[in-house]
Amino acid sequence: MAQNTATGKNKRGGFTLIELLVVLAIIAMLAGIAAPVYFSSISKSREAALKQDLVNLRKALDDYYSANDKYPDDLNELVAGKYLRAIPKDPITDSNSSWVPVKDDDDDANGISDIKSGADGKSSDGDNYQDW
């Protein structure tokens, strides 16, 4: 401890309560600005992953149709035929069983001709996930 020679009192170094409160207020303000940006970017990255998964699944369905002249009855046929390594997880629902298969209305094709997301809710641009 340093002693002040003029007054004879001990002088301690440290922060006052006001200084600590100001620093905490600045940190809270910065966190309040950064948190919405962070969560928005996570949501947008999940939406981008969903769009890419839908493109990949639809391409696999088309490739299956080109090779077999019919659509698969089940998504697992795409994995068994090595059109996909595995059925991807829907990034919004975090499940690979939430995909909604769409059957073709043609009389000769009764397999899965399209695929949709089974996620509820709307995307950041206002569209329903189920409409993608």
* Residue 5 maps to a domain: no
* Residue 11 maps to a domain: no
Q: State which amino acid sits at residue 61.
A: L
C-alpha span between 75 and 99 (Å, rounded) = 9
Total domains present in the chain? 1
- The whole-model pTM stands at 0.72
Print the domain residue range for 21.
16-120
The 10 Å Cβ neighbour count of residue 62 is 14
Summarize pLDDT for 16-67 with one digit per residue, the tens: 999 999 999 999 999 999 998 898 899 999 999 999 999 999 999 999 999 9
* Residue 24 maps to a domain: yes
* Residue 128 maps to a domain: no
Summarize pLDDT for 108-132 with one digit per residue, the tens: 557 899 999 999 888 888 888 888 8
